[in-house]
Structure 1
Amino acid sequence: MRAVRHSMLCIWLFLSSLISFSLPSIAASNSTVNVGTYHCPPFVIESESQPPEGLSIYLWQQIALELGVDYNYSHHELGELLEQVSDNTLNIGVSCISITPEREKVLDFSHSFYETHLAIAVKQQGYLSSIKNIFTNTKLWFVLGIAFIAAGFVGGIYYLLEHRVNDKLYSMRSKFAQMVEGFILGLLFITKGPFNYYEFKTLTGRVLTVLLAVFTTFFIASITAILASTFTLGLISSDIKGPNDLANLSVGAKAKSTSSLFLTSHSIVHRSYESTNDLLEALNNNEVEAIVADDAVLKYLIKKAKEEGRYKGLSVLPYQFEKQNYGLVIENNSPHREKLNRALLKIRNSPEWRQTLNKYFADK
C-alpha cells in the first residue's frame, strides 16, 4: 500500500512539473526583467535626475503591474537596443520602435500600440525667398491662367451679345477698347461674382448671368482655396510636395531608423544623425534642407521647442507617407508574448490609456 502511495505521489509531482514547464509565465519568474529604453519623446522621455516617462513607459508600467513582474531600466541608442534584445541581453525594448519585416526576422514584437507615419520637416524661408518661391510657383501660375482664360471666355460671350446695344457697359469708341472692356467685365465676373442681371440689355445676356451666378460662386470658392493653400505652402517650402522631391535636396534622417531605411530604399542620399534632436538642430542650422522622421515625434518635439522659444522657423509639412506601427520589442520566440499581448490589449481598451494619449497628443 505504501508503495502505491509513493508511486501516486511521484506521478503527481511529475505532472505538476510538466504543466509548470509547458506554461511559462513572466509572473512566475523570480528574476528581474531587464528593460531597455532609448530617448524618443513623447514615447520615452529621459532625464538625468528623473526616471523615464512617456507613453511607452506608461504602457510598460501598466503591463508589468498586470503581470506582477519586477523590472529595471537601462538607456541605449536604437541600434544597441535592438542588438541587445536580439542576443537576449535585454528582455524587452520600450520606446517608439517601428514593427518592420527586417526586424521581425531576429526579434519578436508585441501587438501595435500606436500608429503614425513618416513626415518631412523643413525650415521656413525668409520673406524674400518666400516671395520669390510664390512667384515661381507653377501651381499658382496655372490657377491664374485658368482664371484669365475663363475671364476672357465669359467676357467674349458678353461682348458678342451686348456691345452693340449696351452703351453703359461698352462706352469706348474703338473695337479694341470695347474688347478690353469685355475682358474686364469677364474678369470682374470671375473674381467678384455675378452682376445684377438687369445691367444687361439682351434677354440672352440676362439668362446667362443667372446661370453663371451659380457656377462663379463655386468657381471663386475653389480658386480662393487653391490660392490660399499655394500661398501658405509657399511660405513654408514651395519645392517639396512629397518624398519624391527630396532627391534633389540635402536631407537628414536618424541612423538605423525606418526613415533612414525608407530613404535608402528610394535611392535618396541623406546624412545620418544619432538622435532626432540632432536632426532638428541640423535643420535649424541649415546643415540640411529637410529631415525625415516619424510624424508624431517631429510634431511633439517641434511643438515643445517652440514653447521654449526655440526652432520657431521649423514646420512639419502636411504630407504623410509610409505608415508606421509601434510595438514593444521582446526576445525572439519569447514564451511570454501571449501574456504580454493580452495585458497590452486590456490596457489599450481602458479609459486611462485614452487619457494618457490626450496628455501627450492633445493637439492631434
Structure 2
Amino acid sequence: MVHRIFTWFFLLTLTISTQVHAQTSTLRVGITEVPPFVMQTEDGRWEGISIDLWREVAAGMGRDYEWVPMSFNDLLAATENGDIDVAVGALTMTADRESRFDFSHPFYQTGLSIAVPPVPEQSLLASLKALISWQFVSVILALGALLLAVGFLLWLVERRRNPEQFGGSAAEGIGSSFWWAAVTMTTVGYGDKAPVSFPGRLIALVWMFAGLIMVASFTAAITSSLTVSNLRTGIEGVGDLPGKVVATIGQTASQRYLEEQRIRYQPYPDLTTAMTSVAEGKSDAIVYDRPLMQYRNQQLGQQRLTILPGVFAEQLYALALPEDSALRAPVSQQILRVTESEDWGAIQAAYLGSE
C-alpha cells in the first residue's frame, strides 16, 4: 500500500515538474530572413512585421525565447521534426504544409500580384529624345531618298516638255521635282507645279495613290518612335501571362500557382534577383506575394517595377508549430489579441507604408 502511494506520488511529481519546465523553458524560435516580415539590421537586431508580432505574443504568454536563424527549407524541416518550438516568418498556409506540421491562427491575409517593367513617365524631354533616336532618323532618311528618286524620275521626263517648271540646271530641275513629290505625297498640292507630258502625268497618278500609303506609314513610324519607350509588356492581369516569361521564386506558392495555370516561368533563388530580371528585360513579369514585392520594390531605386493593382490566389500567413504542439492554442489566442488591437495597423504601415 505504501509502495503504491509512493509510486503515485512520484509520477504526479514528475508530471507536474515536466509541465512546469515546459511552461518556463526558453522557446526556440526559428526564423528566416524575408523582408519586411523578418529582417536583420546592421547591428544584428531582428525586426519586421512577424518579429514584432512574435514579441507581443511571447510577452502575452510570459515566455522567454531565443532566435534560431536558418534557411527557409531548413525552417520547414526543423518545424516538422520538432527541432524548434515555433517558426516565425511569412509562411503561407497550405494543405501540404498542414499535413507536416500545425499552423497558428493566421495573422496576415494577402495574395499574389504581378509586377511589370517600370513605365517611364511621358514628358516633353522624353519625346524630344525619341525624335533624335536612330529609328526616327532612319525613317526620315528613307522617306527623303524615296522623294528624291520620284523627283528625279519626273525631272527626266519633264525637263524638255515642261522647262518652265522643271527646267534650268540639273540641281534646279531636280529641286523643283523634289518639291512637287513632297507636296503631292502630303496631299497639300499647292498647284504651282504640275507635269504636262503623258509619262509625267502617269508618274503623278501612281505617286498620288502611293502618297496616301506613305503618309499613313510615316505617321505610324513617328508615333511608334515617340511611344516605343513608354509601352508596357502588354500585361494588365493574369489573363495576359500565358505566352510570357514570368519570374518567380522556386518552391513557393507562386511557383505552384504558375504550374497549375500552365504558365511558363523562370525560378530565381531570391526576390531581388527575380525583380531585377524583369527590370533588365530578361523576364516579362514577376508573380509573387504582394507585400514582399511591395517592400523590396522600394529598395530597387531606378529599377523599381510597376506593381499592378489587385491580388489573386489569396493566401494566409501564420506561425508554424510542430504537430500537436501544446503551444498552438495559447499562441493563436495571443495572435488574435494582437491583430485585433489598434496597434496592428501601425505595425504593418511602419514596414509597408501606404499604397
Shorter-chain TM-score bucket reads 0.5 to 0.7
Is 1:54 the equivalent of 2:48? yes
Q: Which 10-residue stretch deviates more, 102-111 or 76-85?
A: 76-85
Structure 1 position 66 matched with structure 2 position 66 = no
SS of corresponding position for 1:345:
helix
Residue in structure 2 matching 1:358, options 317, 325, 349: 349
Counterpart in the other structure of 1:311? 303
Q: Which residue of 2 aligns with 1:323?
A: 314
Distance 1:25 1:310 in 2: 55
Distance (Å, rounded) in 1 between the aligned partners of 2:270 and 2:84: 21
Letter in 2 for 1:252: A
CA distance in 2, matches of 1:239, 1:337: 46
Q: Which of these residues, 284, 290, 298, is aligned with residue 295 of structure 1? A: 290
Is the Cα contact below 8 Å between 2:116 and 2:235 reproduced in 1?
no
For the residue of structure 1 that corresponds to 2:312, the secondary structure is: strand
State the Cα deviation string for residues 153-190 of structure 1 (Å, max 9, x = none).
Answer: xxxxxxxxxxxxxxxxxxxxxxxxxxxxxxxxxxxxxx
Distance 1:336 1:126, change over 3 A: closer
Deviates more, 1:255-264 or 1:342-351: 342-351
Partner of residue 251, structure 1: 246
Hey, what's the Cα distance between the residues in 1 that align with 2:77 and 2:314?
24
1:279 pairs with one of 260, 274, 277: 274
Does 1:99 find its partner at 2:90? Answer: no
Residue equivalent to 2:189: none
Match of 2:79 among 80, 85, 105: 85
Say if 2:70 is the partner of 1:76.
yes
Q: Per-residue CA shift, 1:247-280, capped at 9, x if unaligned?
A: 2111111111110111111112211112212212
Superposed CA deviations along residues 73-120 of structure 1, whole A, max 9, x for unmatched, are: 233332221122112222221111110111111011111001111000
Deviation at 1:355, TM superposition (A): 2.3
Gap runs ≥5 in structure 1: 132-233
Task: Evaluate the alpha carbon distance shift between residue 343 and residue 27 of structure 1 in structure 2; reply closer, same or farther with a 3 A threshold.
Answer: farther
Q: In structure 1, what is the Cα distance between the partners aligned to 2:349 and 2:83? A: 34
Paired residues, number: 251
Q: Give the TM-score, by structure 2 length.
A: 0.63
Larger gyration radius, structure 1 or structure 2: 2
Q: Answer yes or no: is the 8 Å Cα contact 1:124–1:235 preserved in 2.
A: no
Identity between Structure 1 and Structure 2 (%)? 27
Provide the residue aligned with 1:210 in structure 2.
none
CA distance 1:92–1:16, change in 2 (3 Å): same
TM-superposed CA distance for 1:12, in Å, is 6.1
Q: Amino acid of the residue matched to residue 334 of structure 2?
A: A
- Paired residues of 1:253 and 1:272 also in contact (CA < 8 A): yes
2:180 corresponds to: none
- State the 1:299 CA deviation: 1.4
Distance 1:238 1:278, change over 3 A: closer
Q: For 2:241, what is the secondary structure of its paired residue? A: helix
1:76–1:125: structure 2 CA closer, same or farther, 3 Å change rule? same
Q: Which residues of 2 match residues 1-364 of structure 1 at below 5 A? A: 14=11, 28-30=23-25, 32-124=26-118, 235=230, 237=232, 239-302=234-297, 304-305=298-299, 309-312=301-304, 314-364=305-355
Q: Matched residues in 2 for 1:25 and 1:254: separation?
A: 43
Partners of 1:254 and 1:275 within 8 A in 2: yes
TM-score, normalized by length of structure 1? Answer: 0.61
Instruction: Please provide the CA RMSD for this pair.
Output: 2.9
Check conservation: 2:28, 2:85, Cα contact below 8 A.
yes
CA drift at 1:13 = 6.1
- Within 2, Cα distance between the matches of 1:118 and 1:26? 42
